[in-house]
Amino acid sequence: MSDFDSQEALLTALSETILHHDDEKMEHLLNAVVKEGVSPEKIKQKLIIGLESAKSRIMTNHLSMAEFLVCLDTAIHGLENVALSGSRENETQKNNRIVIGVVKGDPHDLGKTIIESVYRAYGYTIFDMGSNVSVEKFLKGIEQHQATILAISAMMSTSTVNVEPIIHEAKKRFPHIAAIVGGAYMNEKLATSYGADAYSENALTVIENTETIMNNGR
Amino acid sequence: MSTVKENLSILKVIKPLLKREMPPPGFIPDSILNGVATFSSARGKISHLSNLERLITTLCHKEPDHVPSSSFVMSAARHLVNASFPEFALKPAITADILYTVFEQIGGELIIPLIDLSVEAADFGQKIIYPENSTPFPDYSEPLIKDVSDYRKIKRIDFRNAIRMQSIVEVCRILVKKVGLRGIVTGWCFCPLEILNMMRGAKNFFRDCINYPQEVKAGCEIVTDVLMEFVDAQLDVGVPVISFDTLFASWNGVRKSLWEELEGTFVNDLSNLVHKRGALVAIHNCGNGIYFDSLIRFMAPEIISYAHLPDDCSNNKELKNRYGDQVVLMGNLDTAFLSYMTPMEIMDECKKLINDLADGGGFILAPGCEYPPNLPLDNARAIIKAAQLHG
């Protein structure tokens, strides 16, 4: 802690490493906070604050999508390093098991990757089906991982229509499942018409949208 | 000396006109262009203008009889000539036929050969998938740029053997001849960052832009070298406008300062080439928070086609006030609307855009990006009708 006046200053510096996507400094500071005996929960809280800061900057056009992606990388790296992500699965997180994928006919997985990283950073348990995913593969994923949320991305106008049969079949076989969708050609009205429970415009709103579904008892 | 230059420029105008083709607007003396625009604007108040008069009036920032428009329909019209997606992408005679049919049957004043995002990348050696029911896309399981060191190893291809880029040139050649003076055929070129993105995959490419900018720039240099020939070849066949896709100059790409560092010099070279040959520069960018100011500084475009607002404007009226006298604005109907709105609703949305952007000229009504390829064309017709009725 020699470089810092207080434990709080050390934790703030740790938080800021996300915004500067500085993995090396993060590892160094993580070692320092662990030595200081800071609880894993407190560390997690600080990392999330760093992520929130990145999120608010992209919302106000102070951070590009490319930078947000590397900030997420650093956040995930930090969370994994302190064994917080996924390993401390509590009751709430068990209820938030998410199967995520890009629809059939669509190879664009950047949006899905970013959303997946955001979910992981916020402590959700994620099962990635990849891109160009068939209805059958989505259904198998939901069953196998006992998912409660189905997150679908469609980035092409030609593939957006493929969202509907996935939601239709998923809800038929797993009535408890809540579906959240997003993509370049998607919007709220279209998402609703496909039977989705929520539409998320981007990575910045996905946590709030997901929490809304969960709070609505889906 | 200047008289010799002027005479040469006039020859460059007269020669295409004799072939009934649109001459490079940059070689037409400003006094003549403005005279035509002023006269057309006045005449437009009492009678219909021709497509070309309407476009010239708009490009000179004067009000025509109604706003010009583009439905931005590309492969969505393949059914009109019973063609498939791969045929639209790979067979220039069919591509040209489809785009000409759109011009004839749907209308609009501009013909834009945006085939798909993989054209240039394919010629550099990226493996492309050509699905029967969708737009071609790179096979991201086999990216050409596998590692950051590969940017410097991109092969500087011989443009004469660049099959897909050559096919775009051929499409332009056919369309310029067929359309004549009834409209404007634009060329099309993706800018180097987008092409490298197609050869690397977005996830890794974004990271490389931030972590290895010098490597990315080295790749840009090689790609731009070939693009200069591509643009030159399109100008050779008579397109008076080249559209450049600059997606990375937006918050969907990289930070403004980084974009300027990575791509600024290269897009500057490309647009200088276009202007030097008397043609106009159009920019298409469907990202969020486009960097209008940087794009204008580096490319001096005459037209910007956009889907979302620039980073320094909060609505279309503000955009018009800030940039409307510097560039012709083209857009920005939400393409998602086209999926579920009725033609009447689309016309209402177009009317809102016209109300915000058409005052004083300098506006072309269009969707913010390509018309979705698997949709019926009713809403495309609605866009053109809205321009004629409300514009």
Residue A182 lies inside a defined structural domain of this protein = yes
What is the ipTM, given to two decimal places? 0.71
Query: Which amino acid does the sequence have at A4?
Result: F
Amino acid at B232: D
Q: What is the pLDDT of residue A5?
A: 80
Q: Which two tokens stand for residue A117?
A: 């990283």
Q: Who among B254, B258, B373 is closest to A158 (CB)? A: B373
CATH number of the domain at A57, please: 1.10.1240
User: What SS3 class is residue A126?
Assistant: strand
Sign of CA dihedral B336, B342, B344, B345: negative
Q: What is the CATH number of the domain that holds A117?
A: 3.40.50.280
Are residue A211 and residue A106 in the same domain, yes or no? yes
Q: Are residues A50 and A155 in the same domain?
A: no
Distance CA B64, CA B40 (A): 7
Looking at the fold, whether A73 and A164 belong to one and the same domain comes out as: no
Long-range pairs for B85-88: beta carbons < 8 A, 24 or more residues apart: B85/B130, B85/B131, B85/B132, B85/B133, B85/B134, B85/B135, B85/B136, B85/B373, B86/B130, B86/B131, B86/B132, B86/B136, B88/B115
Q: Where are the domains of chain B?
A: 67-390
> What are A152-205's pLDDT values in tens digits?
998 877 788 889 999 999 999 999 999 999 987 888 888 999 999 999 987 778
Asked if A144 and A123 sit in the same domain, the reply is yes
> DSSP state, B115?
-
What DSSP line would sit under A156-186, residue for residue? Answer: SHHHHTTHHHHHHHHHHH-TT-EEEEE-TT-
Give Cβ neighbours of residue B46 (< 8 Å, ≥ 6 apart). Answer: none
Which among A21, A105, A110 has CB closest to B203? Answer: A110
Q: Categorize the per-residue pLDDT at A87 as very low, low, confident or very high, splitting at 50, 70 and 90.
A: very low
Q: What is the mean pLDDT of residues A11-19?
A: 92
* Interchain proximity A65–B251, CB inside 8 Å: yes
CA distance A213 to A203: 16
Q: Does A125 lie in the same domain as A55? A: no
- The predicted model gives B367-389 an average pLDDT of 94
> Do residues B190 and B120 lie in contact, with contact meaning Cβ atoms separated by under 8 Å?
yes
Question: Mean of the pLDDT values across residues B351-358?
Answer: 97
pLDDT digits 0-9 by tens, B252-291: 899 999 999 999 999 999 999 999 999 999 999 999 899 9
What is the rounded distance in angstroms from the CA atom of residue A213 to the CA atom of residue A198?
7
Q: Is A140 found in the same domain as A110?
A: yes
CATH architecture of B67-390: Alpha-Beta Barrel (3.20)
Residue B340 has a pLDDT of 85
- Residue A85 has a pLDDT of 42
Residues of A with CB under 8 A from a CB of B: 21, 58, 61, 63-67, 69-70, 73, 105, 107-110, 113, 131, 156-161, 185-187, 189-190, 193
Same-domain pairing of A47 and A77: yes
For chain A, how many structural domains are there in total? 2
Residue A60 placed within a domain: yes
Average pLDDT value over all residues in chain B: 94
Q: Quote the pLDDT of residue A89.
A: 46
Asked whether the predicted pLDDT for residue A79 surpasses 90, the reply is no
* pLDDT > 50? residue B386: yes
B252/A67 touch (CB, cutoff 8 Å), yes or no: no
Does any domain span residue A2?
A: no
Q: Is there a single domain that holds both residue A162 and residue A97?
A: yes
Pairwise pLDDT comparison (B156 vs A108), residue with the higher score: B156
Spatial contact of B25 and B280, defined as CB atoms under 8 Å apart:
yes
Query: Contacts of residue B311 in chain A, CB cutoff 8 Å?
Result: 61
Give the residue from A31, A51, A81 where a domain finishes: A81
A154 & A104 share domain:
yes
Is the residue at A105 inside a domain?
yes
My answer on whether A49 and A116 are in the same domain is no
Percent of chain B with pLDDT over 90: 84
A113 and A75 in a common domain: no
Range of the domain at A107: 91-215
Confidence of residue B62 (pLDDT cuts 50, 70, 90): very high
The answer to whether residues A193 and A155 belong to one domain is: yes
Q: Report which of B233, B229, B226 is spatially closest to residue B192, judged by C-alpha positions.
A: B226
A95 to chain B, closest Cα gap in Å: 29
Strands B137-138 and B128-129: what pairing?
antiparallel
Indicate which of B78, B203, B340 best probes the interface with A, i.e. most A CBs within 10 Å of its own CB: B203
Q: Is the pLDDT of residue B1 over 70?
A: no
Contact A70 B258 (CB under 8 A): no
**Closest CA of chain B from A92, distance in Å:** 30
